[in-house]
Copies of this chain bind each other. A is one copy, B any other.
Amino acid sequence: MTGLVTFQQDEPISSSRLAELTGVPSHYLSKIMRKMVEAGYVNSRKGHGGGFIMSIDPEKLTIMDVLTAAGFDMDEQPCVFGWDECKNENPCPLHPIWKRLKDAFNDWACNTNFDDIRRESGMVDDLEKWNQNQSLR
């Protein structure tokens, strides 16, 4: 049913439906989804019966892929002091400690894929059913 979210690629889910299910404002969601479309992880179809549909194997899509597609770049993230010239060669006092955290984050983002999410959420087949069971929002 809800192709994108359950990762069963049958028919598209609209941004408004997705918005209902996730609690994310639909227009805001659309903007993000557009980026996913541009990155090639999702296809979109306009008009009646249209919506978004996943176009990649969930196992192949990591959190980091999504973040990157949304414009996130780990290398651009400043250290806590916000120094421009804080590199490995010319580090700020917190750099080595900070790097540990960055590494942990990277590890998490690069090694978590959307099949992990599906499995670990217990959301195996149908988000709408899962949603009701959890009595959300």
Chain A positions near chain B (C-beta within 8 angstroms)? 5, 22-24, 63, 81-85, 90-97, 100-101, 104-105, 107-108, 112, 116-117, 120-121, 123, 127, 130, 134-137
A137 touching B83 by the CB < 8 A rule?
yes
A137 surroundings in chain B (CB, below 8 A): 83-85
Copies of this protein, total: 2
Q: Is the CB of B94 within 8 A of A121?
A: yes
Residue of B nearest to A86 (CB): B136
B117 touches A83 (CB 8 A): no
Contact call A93/B117, Cβ cutoff below 8 A: yes
Q: Is the CB of A134 within 8 A of B101?
A: no
B97 and A117 form a contact (CB under 8 A): yes
